[in-house]
Amino acid sequence: MIGLSAHLGSFHSHGRTSITDVTDELPTFAEIFETLTFQAGFNTNMVVLGTTLLGLAAGVVGVFALLRKRSLVADAISHATLPGICIAFLAAVVLGHEGRSIPILLTGATLSGIAGVLCIHAIVRCTRLHEDAAIGIVLSVFFGAGVVLLTYIQKNASAGSAGLDHFITGQAATMVTQDAVVMVSIAGVCLLLVVLLFKEFSLVCFNESFARATGWSVSLLDLIMMALVILVTVAGLQAVGLILVVAMLILPPVSARFWTDRLWLLVLLSGLIGASSGYLGSSVSALLPRKPAGAVIVLAAGVLFVISMLGAPARGVLASLVRRLSLNMRIASEHLLEAAYEQEGRPIPGDQIRGLARLRAWPLWTLPLMKLTLNRKGYLASVTAEGWRLTPAGLARGAQVSRNHRLWEQYLVSYADIAPSHVDWSVDQVEHVLTPELVAELEHELRMRGIEVGAS
């Protein structure tokens, strides 16, 4: 594992990787407060500010990379920067400049990132291979070339070569004011372009062929989008490292997507999540010993991702589980209502309920939940030894469900020839989700075919 070995190498050569790593003790509250409020010394402030802005820019740009389904192209780009960095270093040394000058190195990184994108494009265009293989090839071959150059530099160009490997896993502590200024300007450029081209980007991401047909230059817009991705990647190399910078582009938008269905809100939230993971990550890294900033920032974003995926009310896993369960409960309880209606209002004995549960494959533990559902809607009158007794409202609902069921069956039978797309809807499901408008339409269609449906 090259990335790992390089990192370990740096660990051993520097002894510590976090900014204020002087002891193994936990920080005091005063220290935490100072770091979080930008009062912990100039260097720490620059790092925290820089990574926060990086997170913001990456989050905003990442949304469009995600929606254009190009997230992993960013991975290839970040790996592809390594040979550029090394070549820039060698060229600078040959030309007699200071090899470690950050602007020179980042220029090299940008150029080889662009070369990587072009190679992916060429492979997809000129061969039968798909994008995944193209990304894999560019990512590994460019990175391999970078490693070759890196080992060459480390073994042969002894002077001033230390620190190039920081670009692999990142070294936020080495950031200086100049780098923070670079971050500010890159974040500014990204935000400005995203605001200006918001509608163009969203159009291309949503419906490329329509964009083309209405005369937008899709390739130009894609180019601008990729340029922004390269910009953010290069900006993040120093702080987060080239292996993890892709996380800054992917995690915030994916997390934000769980919270909202509005694009502008998605962009806003994603920027916010990116910024807060940058802020939290670099602060933790500054406060605790042996917490490399890049990894902590990504883990902070990862924690936000897990929270979002599980807990977001709009598309989160828990929320949709609850929704599915409550739909199942509704369907199950309506089956019960239907059964009660068919028994003309006599209470349903417990045995029959269990039988019904077996038939419909409900787990028995759902019975109390079902009781609760029925109770809440005011359908359940009482539960006695005799069985469950329903209220008149419950029976009326049962009648309605039973009628929907028969209507739908009738529809399937009489329209079997022209409704093939609907046949796979299970009868059991459909009757519970029919809206009043759909029921009216069903009645209309059946009457058109001369089938008597009766009054509702």
Give the Cβ contact number of residue 404 at 10 Å. 22
DSSP secondary structure of 428-454: HHHHHH--HHHHHHHHHHHHHTT----
Which residues in 278-297 contact other proteins (CB under 8 A)? 289-292, 294-296
Nearest to 84 by CA among 47, 111, 118, 124: 111
In angstroms, the Cα distances linking 292 to 19, 72, 240, 281, 405 are: 9, 24, 9, 9, 62
Which residues in 171-200 contact other proteins (CB under 8 A)? 196-200
Binding region for other proteins (CB under 8 A) out of 96-104, 135-143, 228-236, 351-359: 135-143
Q: Which residues of 170-206 are buried (b: 16+ CB within 10 A; e: fewer)?
A: bbbbbbeeebbebbeebbebbbebbeebeebbbbbbe
Closer to other proteins by CB, 38 or 415: give it.
415
Closer to other proteins by CB, 7 or 397: give it.
7
Mask for 295-334, x = binds other proteins (CB under 8 A): xx-xx--x--x---x-----x-x-----------------
- Minimum CB distance to other proteins, residue 25 (Å): 13
Closer to other proteins by CB, 208 or 399: give it.
208
**Helix (H/G/I), strand (E/B), else coil: 381:** strand
Assess 237 for contact with other proteins (CB under 8 A): no
- Minimum CB distance to other proteins, residue 337 (Å): 26
Closer to other proteins by CB, 196 or 325: give it.
196
Assess 132 for contact with other proteins (CB under 8 A): yes
Among 8, 26, 91, 118, binds other proteins (CB under 8 A): 8
- Minimum CB distance to other proteins, residue 142 (Å): 8
Residue reference for tokens 């005091």: 28
Which residues in 405-444 contact other proteins (CB under 8 A)? 421, 441
Assess 222 for contact with other proteins (CB under 8 A): no
Closer to other proteins by CB, 169 or 400: give it.
169
Closer to other proteins by CB, 106 or 299: give it.
299
Among 12, 96, 426, 452, binds other proteins (CB under 8 A): 12
Please list the residues that pair with 388 across neighbouring strands: 348, 383
Decide: 160 and 100 in contact? Cβ < 8 Å: yes
Residue reference for tokens 């560019």: 138
Q: Which two tokens stand for residue 227?
A: 């340029």
Nearest to 59 by CA among 38, 74, 37: 74
- Reduced 3-state DSSP string for 319-348: HHHHHHHHHHHHHHHHHHHHHHHHCCCCCE
- Minimum CB distance to other proteins, residue 207 (Å): 5
Instruction: Give the interface size with other proteins as a residue count (CB under 8 A).
Output: 95
Which residues in 40-99 contact other proteins (CB under 8 A)? 66-67, 69-72, 75
**Helix (H/G/I), strand (E/B), else coil: 203:** helix
Among 95, 126, 359, 413, binds other proteins (CB under 8 A): 126
